[in-house]
Amino acid sequence: MPLKYLHTMVRVKDLDKSMAFYALLGLQEIRRHDSEGGRFSLIFLAPPGQDEAPIELTWNWDGDDELPSDSRHFGHLAYEVDNIYETCQHLMDNGVTINRPPRDGRMAFVRSPDNISIELLQAGDALDAAEPWASMENTGHW
């Protein structure tokens, strides 16, 4: 039985905040479906040139009180980055908390505005340990 990956769906409360967060990660909108009758939007985002691996943001126009405050049961999304230190600095400079800093030069975790854990992994070998990352403590959950 052949199987093909399609996408990962996450529900979001504030579409503007979520779109801004995923744009900081470098994801771009590749398609959108707005349902007038269902009063929801489906927005598909992917890294440039990787339309085959999207995430789907589902936004209910009238709010979504059913979202848990901590979405750890979801697990996480994972993205490979060219330079984990530069990526984390870019996110921090734009107000994103680095929940698990890349102390090892290899892995970091951040959270979306809807508490979705995002794992960032260094492409190739780990970078040499560097400050301020090497001594930075964890913040919150990841």
What is the set of active-site residues?
Answer: 119
Strand partners, 77: 118
Cα–Cα dist 50/92, whole Å? 25
Cα–Cα dist 83/126, whole Å? 9
Cα–Cα dist 8/54, whole Å? 7
The sign of the CA dihedral 115, 139, 88, 94 is: positive
Strand partners, 41: 34, 59
